[in-house]
Amino acid sequence: MHVRRRIGLLGGSFNPAHGGHRRISLFVLRALALDEIWWMVSPGNPLKPKAGMAPLDARVRSAMDQARRAPIRVTAIERELGTRYTVDTLGAMGRRYPRYEFVWLMGADNLAQFHRWKDWRGIARRMPIAVIARPGYDAGAIASPAMAWLRRFSVPLSSFVNRGEWSAPALVILRFDPDERSATAIRRADPDWAARYTGPPPRDQVTHRMILSGEETTAP
């Protein structure tokens, strides 16, 4: 038994969320024996253009829709924290939720450009990273500048899962039946998808629950 609950953090634009997000999350949950996955819907990826990005609330709603009846919680915590860069978000999360152990999750497409993220080595030093294979991106990810540094911290899945307390840097690559789905393809087929997700602001499934359970270390 782990002393601290283990959470996988999947940050993303979720513009919109899709079945691929759900499927990779459920796969990682089982593969890494996690307690939950938190989908952190980004107010704005620092490397992506604002044009074509649906409102945050619509993206959060689409994520809640995809996450229903699964151990996946949807949060827009970066809006509350006022952070945009992942390294800043993860620092704030660690301080706010000391009773949890986190692993950062990302698809191989993000590993391929991870070296362009602010202080990416700082992210890797803060928590383990699990990369999920993605059709069309795996070769680019393996040959990426970030991988040239991260490779030495690579850990086989079995020893990663059986570790006691997690340490970082640690990198685990997860290969499974690849999922072709993407938000780009959905936007192309259904440019008005966000019109289905209007209404009052949704209740945050992480910060709201923490306040109720008294697990917040700081006031929201």
Ligand X SMILES: Nc1ncnc2c1ncn2[C@@H]1O[C@H](COP(=O)(O)OP(=O)(O)OP(=O)(O)O)[C@@H](O)[C@H]1O
183 touching ligand X, by CB under 6 A: yes
Sheet containing strand 100-107, strands side by side? 72-75, 36-41, 5-12, 100-107, 129-132, 171-174
The footprint of ligand NCN on residues 79-108 (CB under 6 A) is 85-87
Q: Which stretch binds ligand X (CB under 6 A): 20-28, 29-37, 89-97, 154-162?
A: 20-28
Our CB check for ligand X shows the closer of 65 and 215 to be 65
Q: Which residues contact 194 (CB under 8 A, 6 or more apart)?
A: 16, 54, 55, 58, 59, 62
Select the binding partner of residue 10 from ligand NCN, ligand X, none (C-beta < 5 to 8 A, by kind).
ligand X
The minimum distance between CB 165 and ligand X, in angstroms, equals: 25
Our CB check for ligand NCN shows the closer of 8 and 12 to be 12
The footprint of ligand NCN on residues 116-155 (CB under 6 A) is 117-118
C-alpha dihedral, 131 to 133 to 135 to 139, nearest 10°: 80
75 touching ligand NCN, by CB under 6 A: no
Q: Which residue is nearest to ligand X (CB)?
A: 107
152-181 footprint of ligand X as x/- string (CB under 6 A) = ---------------------------x-x
Q: Which of 162, 157, 172 is nearest to 1 (CA)?
A: 162
83-122 footprint of ligand X as x/- string (CB under 6 A) = -----------------------xx-xx------------
Select the binding partner of residue 20 from ligand NCN, ligand X, none (C-beta < 5 to 8 A, by kind).
ligand X
The minimum distance between CB 180 and ligand X, in angstroms, equals: 6
Q: Which residues contact 42 (CB under 8 A, 6 or more apart)?
A: 11, 12, 13, 14, 78, 84
Select the binding partner of residue 85 from ligand NCN, ligand X, none (C-beta < 5 to 8 A, by kind).
ligand NCN
Alpha carbon of 135 to those of 108, 109, 162, 177, 179: distances in Å?
9, 9, 28, 10, 7
Encode burial over 140-176: b for 16+ CB neighbours within 10 A, e otherwise: ebeebebbebbeebebeeeebeeeeeeebbbbbbbee
The footprint of ligand X on residues 21-40 (CB under 6 A) is 21, 24
